[in-house]
Structure formats: C-alpha cells, structure tokens
Structure 1
Amino acid sequence: MTSLKAASPEDLADPRGPVTPEQTQKAEELKADANKYFKECKYNDAIRLYTEAIELNPTLAAYYCNRAFAYIKTEAFGYAIADAEKAIELDPSFVKGYYRRATANMALCNFKASLRDYRTVVKRAPGFADGRKKLAECEKIVRRVEFEKAIEFDDTERSIVDQINLEAMSIDDSYDGPRLSQTPEAALPTATKAIDVSFVDGMVAWFKDQKKLHKRYAYQIVMAAKDIFTALPSLVDIQIPQGVRLTICGDVHGQFFDFLNIFELNGRPSPTNWYLFNGDFVDRGSFSVEVILTLLAYKWLYPEAVHLARGNHESTNMNKMYGFEGEVKSKFSDMMFKLFTETFNALPLAHVVQDKILVVHGGLFSRDDVTLDEIRAINRFSQPPTSGLMCELLWSDPKPTPGRQPSKRGTAIEFGPDVTEAFLKHNDLDMVIRSHEVKDGGYSIDHNGKCVTVFSAPNYCDTMTNLGAYIHVTADCELSYHTFKAVPHPANVKAMQYASQFNSFGI
C-alpha cells in the first residue's frame, strides 16, 4: 500500500519550472478567498481554493499549512499530516508546519508523535502561548497513557459489573426523578420488564430539563443493554415484518436535542417503528450521556425493534479525546465510564437488512474476498485494532474513483465503486448503507446508487450548518430519504465542552 504522502496530489518538485509573477499574484488572491471561506466554516470550498493556489505556486509552506488546517476541520487528518510534512520539507523553520502535524496526530491519538512536534514548536517559538499549553496537555496525556499501560493486567474473565453493587446505591427521598421497578426481573411476572414506556418517557423529559438520572438506574440500564448486546453476533440479521418500518440513522454525536427531534418527526421507537442507529452516538456533542442512556433504555425496552452498531467513536481513545470520558466522569464516575467501555465492546459491528442491505458505520475492506461469515466471526470484544476487518468496518470511507487508497483520515482505506460492486456481488447483496461522514444535505448516494452515506447530526458541532437525515426501509426493501434541520439546545452547553483542551482544534 502506498503511503499517504506518496498519494498526495502534489509531487515534491514542480516540473513546470519557476513560478511566474502572475502565478504568484493569482495564488495569493486564491489564498485570500480561501481564508474567507475558512472563516465562514466552508471548509471544503477553502480546500478547493487552497489547492488551486498550490497548483499555481507549490513553493510556499503557508499554503500547505492553511490547507492542512482545513483538512483538520473536515477530519481528513491523514491529508493534514501529509500537507504539514510538505510544509516542513519546503521550510524546516516553519513552526506552523510542526504545529499542524501535531494537531492532526493528536486527533488520531498518536500522542508520542504529537509530543515530538509540540516540543519543536515550543523550542522554536517559546513565546507561543498556545504551543506551550498544548505541549503541557500532551505531556500529561502521554504520562497518563504510560501509567495506565504500566498498571494494566490481564483480567479478561472479570467484568467491571462484578464491582458494581446496586443495593448499596440508596435512593434518597429527595430524588424526584423517574424510577425503575426495584423488583428483580427474574421475580417479575413472565414478559414483564423492570423498564417500561412511562419510565423512558419520564427519563427523556428529565434529561430535557438538564437533570441527572440517579446512578442506580443508569447502571441498571447500561448493564441490561450490555447483556443483550453480548448475546448477539458481530453481524446481526434484521428481518422487517410487514407493517413495520425500519429507520436507519447515522452519527448523532451527543447532540441530544437533535436526536430527540428525530423521534418528534419520525415517532419514538415501538414494536412497529423500528430503529437502527449506525454508530457514533457519543463524543463532541456535550449531551452524550443523555443520548446513550436513552438509546440503551430503548434497547432494553424493545430489543427486537431497536438496533445499535458500533462506530469508531465507541472506543476509549476517541472518548478520552473528544469528550465522552470527561462527560461521564463529570456526571457519574470512572466506574461508569468503564462500564460504558465494556458495553461498547459488546456492540455489533454490522447489520444485514432483509438479506440485501449491509449497514456498517465506516465501510468496506482492503481485499476483495471478504464474506459476511467472516464479519460474523470477528471477535469484537476489545478496543478496535489499527488494521484488519474490524478497523475497516469502523473507519473506511468511499471515494468516487475506482480502486483503493489510504484513507484521508490516516486510518483504514478509501474504496471506489468497483470495490463496492465486487463486494456486493460476492455476498449477494444489493447495497451498502454507512455513516461516518458529514454531508451537507444529510445524506449522499454514491457508487451508482449502491453506497449511501447517512449522517444524523445537523449543524454538526454547532458550526457545520449541514442538514441531518434518516432513511426509511420497508419490508419490501423500499427506501426513502428524509432530512431535517438542527433545533435549539441550551445555550450554556457548547459542543466539545467536556473534551480535552485540544477541543480548541475545532475537531
């Protein structure tokens, strides 16, 4: 596989000869226009104009650094690293090159690589306050990772559940929120659950008022859902009965009020109104706890009607960087975060709907002969690896041209329409539905209609102005697409509020 740098659109040298004064002037004009787009959060337009400027004048490190920053904003961290490295090659003294590379590596959780660059930034620009701040934070993260690695031990047979004592979690009379039945489910009448619709409705209303669920009930919900997921295969088959509609949603990323708006527009989950949420429930948005507890409560209530797939953000490294860990520890505890981690490890990786539609968070694979049985056989009960089928299911993206290439994200691959066609034919499928990418219109139909992206977090991170979308699927495999706008959320709670201080990257 070729390197990202080798796949960059610019060669290391300009074969056309010296840059003319006219090209220099035009490139500066393009850069200025690109900067305006960047300030308006129109990052793809900015990338397009920075690229045009680079094509006219490929000798200026600043152009590559500006484009790298725009790539970071669009989560194309692999491309950002390639551009930063090009800037450093052109001008080894250009501090922003090291700073941008450090930023992108932090986003990919490549902490030690980032640390080296932050040290270079501080050494060469000691007065750069933000550089010193980021260096200190990066050092702290590296120390914590090394400490956690030093104290970890192999205890694969023991679950955090063994350390949770629900009976010791007394509920004070002053708590006036929703309450679950305290009768053990095993002692309840047949077909009766400790959870019911009135509890979930009350919990949602409680969350809308920015109130916290009692920890005992939160633990009960997560543990019940974890048991359900653990019993499932890595690939789940969904058969939609006649008279039932399945709604497939993409990333919601902790945007609780937009998430609830889906239910307002489309109806709440029920035995006839099924849902499949296709990963990335948490991180970035600052109501991730409320989103995931609501989803897990519905899974417990309607296990056949509510389906959840793992996304790349249902992982510890992402949660440490992008806010979920900080939010859980702020609202509950470290033990609760560990329970969520175990539960995320149990989430299925893929679904097949009506034997014809593969639904995965990221995408397809670096080889052609992958079968559904291979996906079913994946041992998913771990943190996602950095290569292989599980990694590619969570991280890959489609591209418009044939073939495969390293991902713009720096992890997994990008796959073309021919790859999609071959996979579908090999597995007797009709199409792939995936998520993982912001789309201005909420969804995108690519690869001759055989690869659809759906994204359900409108105005992503309060900055992207995109629509959200969801897809209806009937028992006859008829699809319809629906878009929606963002709704207001409490102004005092910003996106990335609980993230590492690296949230100033805006990623």
Structure 2
Amino acid sequence: METKNEKSDVSRAEELKNQANEAFKGHKFSHAIDLYTQAIELNSNNAVYWANRAFAHTKLEEYGSAILDASKAIEIDPKYSKGYYRRGAAHLAMGKFKDALKDFQQVKRISPNDPDAARKLKECEKAVMKLKFEEAISVPVSERRSVAESIDFHTIEVEPQYSGARIEGEEVTLDFVKNMMEDFKNQKTLHKRYAYQIVLQTRQILQALPSLVDISVPNGKHFTVCGDVHGQFYDLLNIFELNGLPCEENPYLFNGDFVDRGSFSVEIILTLFAFKCMCPSSIYLARGNHESKSMNKIYGFEGEVRSKLSEKFVDLFAEVFCYLPLAHVINEKIFVVHGGLFSVDGVKLSDIRAIDRFCEPPEEGLMCELLWSDPQPLPGRGPSKRGVGLSFGGDVTKRFLEDNNLDLMVRSHEVKDEGYEVDHDGKLITVFSAPNYCDQMGNKGAFIRFEAPEMKPNIVTFSAVPHPDVKPMAYANNFLRMFN
C-alpha cells in the first residue's frame, strides 16, 4: 500500500511533468529538462518522464543523453513504444541508421496500426539501403582522386543571359563579393563557374595552412570571433552590418559550423570563402563538427548543394572541408576551437599542429575531441551528452591553458540563450552566432571583439532578423524533417 508521502511524491512529480511539458511547448528545452529531472527524482519508475526528457535532450542536440533516457524508459516499460521512438530519433540524428532501424521496427511491432511509425520505418529502411549501396560502391581512401583536380573552371561558359555577379579574371574583388551578397539577399544564384573558382581558390589557400593557425593582432587593432552561423545567411549579413565587412583592418574568425540546419548554407559558405579569396588575412575559418560528410548528409547541406549547384559540388565541398584548420591561437594568448578539450592531460599546441587533418573527422582522438567536446560545470571529465567527444571541467581547462601559457579559451558548438556564456572561472567563453536557431530557440546571437594589446573580450549580442520563408532543414533528409 502507498504511504501518504509516496502519494504526494507521485502527484508532485506529475505536476512537475506538466510544467515541463509547458516549458517544452515554449521551446524552453533546458528548463524542461530541469523539471523532468525533478519529476524523475520523485518518481523514477515512470517511463513517460524519461521519454519526455529524452525528447527535450534531442531538441538541444544532446543525442547521447537522449539515447540513455530513452533506453531507461524502455527498461522500465519494454512495451512503451515512445521509448523506442525517441531512441530511434536520436540514433537517426547521429547518423546511426542501423540502430534507428531496429528501434522503429520495435515501434511497428508494438503499434502495428500507427501510420506515422510505418512511415518512419519505411524512410529508415530506405536510408539503410542507400547506406549499404554507398558502402558497396565506395572507393578505398587510398585510391580516391581529388575532385578539385578534375575541375577547370576556365572552361565553363557563362551564358549571355546570366545577369548576376561576375569575377573578371582570376581575382575575387570586394565589388564582386558585395554584388554576390546582394544577389544572394534577393535569392538569386551564383553562376557555377564563379562558385567553382571561389571554392577551388579557397582550397589552395587552406591547403597551405597548418592544423593550428597563429594569428597576430597588432597593438591598437581589433579582431572579431564569431561562433556557429549554421546556414543563417540573413543573420550573417546582420553581423556585417553591425560590425563591418571583413577586411585587413577588420579581420574575423568564424569558428566552425557554417553550414547545415539553416537553409541558406550555400550562400554562407560561398560568402565566407569569397572573403578568404579576396584577402586571406581578413577572415580565418575553423572546422566545426558540421563540416563533415556524415553531418551534411543528414542536416541539409548536401541536399541544398545538390539543389542550388550540382552533385559534383557535394564532393568538392566535402574535400575542401577537410582542409579547414582545427584551431587558432590569437596573440599567443587566446585558444579558439569549435568544440573543446581532450580526454587526456598534457596536450600541447605542438600536438594539435601535428594532427593530420586532411580526412573526415574520426570517432575518437584529438581531432574528434576538438570538434565535439563540451564544457561541464563539475571538475574532471564525464561522458558527452552528445554521444561523441566528452565533457570537461574547469580544472581541465585551467591545466590546458597553464600547460600552453595561454590566458583564455573561446569555443562555440552550443546554443546559448544570450548568444554566449562565460564558464570555468572566466577562463572559457562559448560564443554562438545563430540567433533564434532553427527559427525556434528564441536565443540571441553574439560575437566577441578583442582589442590589442589588452585582448579583453568585448561581447556584442544581437537578435535574429527576418529571412525569406524557407524553413530550416528544408533540404534535409526526409526522415529527419519528420522529427523537427
């Protein structure tokens, strides 16, 4: 028989769950997770709470945590179809199609008449078949030829009726970049000849760079660091409006995740690459976890490139993304990387310089951790809530900075309500530059301006601006759009 206390715990847990559901509906996913957690602490045997929290984790791209929660829901109630459904969705989001397929098969077994489950299972089966086919026809890495070397943009004709921006000769000029951005703003496309020229010239510039790039900001000058922009081109234009266009006197570092999710990724990548061609010291570009084939296949960039350019560009971008540097150090004091730190102590800047980055990101090791890891409030290290990389505490940050005679670490990779967050006793700043991320998070964007010689971070926040009515993930895989 239930005691009075147990009864009140159960009813309080139910109240908390209802509050969490409301927070979820209002896109306050972190708050929803806190409330579901409180409900679970009062009544840990309710599979619904675990499955709901899994869904909130999915919304924050914390797929590792979502899988753990959904698995717990399944353990509590093996016949609870939503547990398999939530886990399947998280597996899909990580590109683990075969695991997702098993989960959706279970959903279908438990709810044979659910048309939604049947549809998702079908999409998942298609994805697994496609994957098997691609594996069967793929060429071993050692035998792969460079796509870039098979393209000569000079031979591509520009039709007389083309009225867009043009590059005269070999040089990308500021006038061209401005015209191209204006065309993009009006949803016009760039001719393939010029798109090839920009991407190929950027490849040449990037290829010559080390895996860790040193940046020097002279006294009296400033430098701006931006975080993820994720295909939100109109917000990128707003950054330039607020802070000026990239040039030698106004240099920028864009810290990875230029593409995916937002549906103007082609416009963003061509704009950033064009500035790199125009003046390499006006803009620095770091690789993020979304500058990779597996992510681009799922989160929209691949589909968008096919739609706006061509299949060949899909392979070309994948190749050029492998040339992006992995980290930057500004004035020997500020370490900038997309994700975070390492599963081992004692990593030196020379170890990062020595990484052979010309490949798809591996699933473990230094390169993986640079792109995927996140800070945590507790000291030490913990498992990643994303299911890739790890979580690292303030002590890890402090030791890394001390070992390398650095003052500050700047990273991106995570949505923050204010566009930024300062952690680890002020030694670590997260900056995220995609406001109202995916048109639903309601967050601000931010960038950081550093003035030499003090190099104190001056953080500027901004709100989202309107964009044409093309939804985020418009070019993403069918089955993933079903979950958004």
Which TM-score applies when normalising by structure 1? 0.93
- Which residue number in structure 2 is paired with residue 360 of structure 1? 337
Amino acid across the alignment from 2:222? R
2:110 counterpart (110, 124, 132): 124
Contact 1:278 1:310 in 2 (8 A): yes
Deviation at 1:22, TM superposition (A): 1.1
Q: Does residue 479 in structure 1 map to residue 451 in structure 2?
A: no
- Note the C-alpha offset of 1:18: 10
- Structure 1 residue 156: Cα displacement: 4.9
Which residue of structure 1 lines up, in the alignment, with residue 197 of structure 2? 220
Which residue of the partner structure matches residue 42 of structure 2? 56
CA contact (8 A) 1:424 1:431 kept: yes
CA distance in 2, matches of 1:474, 1:359: 16
Q: Are the structure 2 counterparts of residues 19 and 68 from structure 1 closer, same or farther at C-alpha, using a change threshold of 3 Å?
A: farther
Query: Residue in 2 aligned with 1:188?
Result: none
1:75-90 to 2 correspondences below 5 Å:
75-90=61-76
- Alignment-mate amino acid for residue 463 of structure 2: K
1:157 and 1:464 mapped to 2: Cα distance?
40
Letter in 2 for 1:483: T
Is the counterpart of residue 432 in structure 1 residue 445 in structure 2? no
1:91 aligns with 2:91: no
Shift of 1:431: 1.2
Q: Which residue of 1 aligns with 2:281?
A: 304
247-256 vs 470-479, greater mean Cα deviation: 470-479
Query: Unpaired segments of 5 or more residues in structure 2?
Result: none
Shift of 1:329: 0.3
Contact 1:103/1:505 (8 A) holds in 2:
no
Q: 1:151 Cα deviation (Å)?
A: 1.3
State yes or no: 1:178 paired with 2:155. no
Match in the other structure for 2:91: 105
Q: 1:257 aligns with which of 230, 234, 259?
A: 234
Give CA deviations for 1:434-478 in whole Å, capped at 9, x if unaligned: 000000001001000001000000000000010000000122122
The reply to whether residue 207 of structure 1 matches residue 184 of structure 2 is: yes
User: Contact 2:93/2:480 (CA < 8 Å) preserved in 1?
Assistant: no
Task: Map residues 449-488 of structure 1 onto 2, 5 A cutoff.
Answer: 449-476=426-453, 477-488=455-466
TM-score calculated relative to the size of structure 2: 0.97
Aligned twin of 1:191: none
Map of 1:314 onto structure 2: 291
Offset of residue 19 of structure 1: 7.4
Q: Does 1:42 align with 2:19?
A: no
| SS of residue paired to 2:251 | strand
Distance 1:331 1:235, change over 3 A: same
2:349 and 2:5 mapped to 1: Cα distance? 53
Cα distance between partner residues in 1 of 2:400 and 2:102: 41
Does the Cα contact within 8 Å between 1:102 and 1:114 map onto a contact in 2?
Answer: yes
In 2: Cα distance, 1:257 partner to 1:277 partner = 16
Q: Kindly indicate whether the alpha-carbon contact (under 8 Å) linking 1:243 and 1:272 is maintained by their aligned counterparts in 2.
A: no
Percentage of identical aligned residues: 56
RMSD: 1.5
CA offsets per residue over residues 482-506 of structure 1, 9 Å max, x none? 000000001x211111111233365
In structure 1, which of residues 487, 493, 499 is the aligned counterpart of residue 470 of structure 2? 493
Q: 1 CA distance for matches of 2:409 and 2:134? A: 38
Residue 244 of structure 1 deviates from its aligned partner by: 2.7
CA distance in 1, matches of 2:441, 2:374: 19
Q: Distance in 1 between matches of 2:4 and 2:201?
A: 67
From the superposition, tell whether residues 17 and 446 of structure 1 become closer, same or farther in structure 2 (CA, over 3 Å): farther
2: CA distance between counterparts of 1:178 and 1:294? 12
| Matched position secondary structure for 1:219 | helix
Secondary structure at 1:148 match in 2: helix
Q: Distance in 2 between the 1:342 and 1:19 partners? A: 61
Q: State how far apart, in whole Å, the 2-side matches of 1:123 and 1:314 are.
A: 37
Matched letter for residue 233 of structure 1: P
Q: Give 2:420's match in structure 1, choosing from 443, 446, 462.
A: 443
Q: Note the C-alpha offset of 1:265.
A: 0.1
State whether residues 358 and 431 of structure 1, in contact with CA within 8 Å, keep that contact through their aligned partners in structure 2: yes
User: SS of 2:425's equivalent?
Assistant: coil
Contact 1:244 1:274 (C-alpha < 8 Å) held by counterparts: no
Aligned residues: 481
**Residues in 1 aligned to 2:5 and 2:292: alpha-carbon distance in whole angstroms:** 47
SS of the residue 2:280 aligns to = coil
1:73 pairs with 59, 65, 68, which one?
59
One-letter amino acid of the structure 2 residue matched with residue 502 of structure 1: F
Q: Which runs of 5+ in 1 are unaligned?
A: 1-15, 186-193
| Residue identity in the other structure for 2:201 | A
Q: Following the alignment from structure 2 to structure 1, what is the Cα–Cα distance between the partners of residues 150 and 235?
A: 35
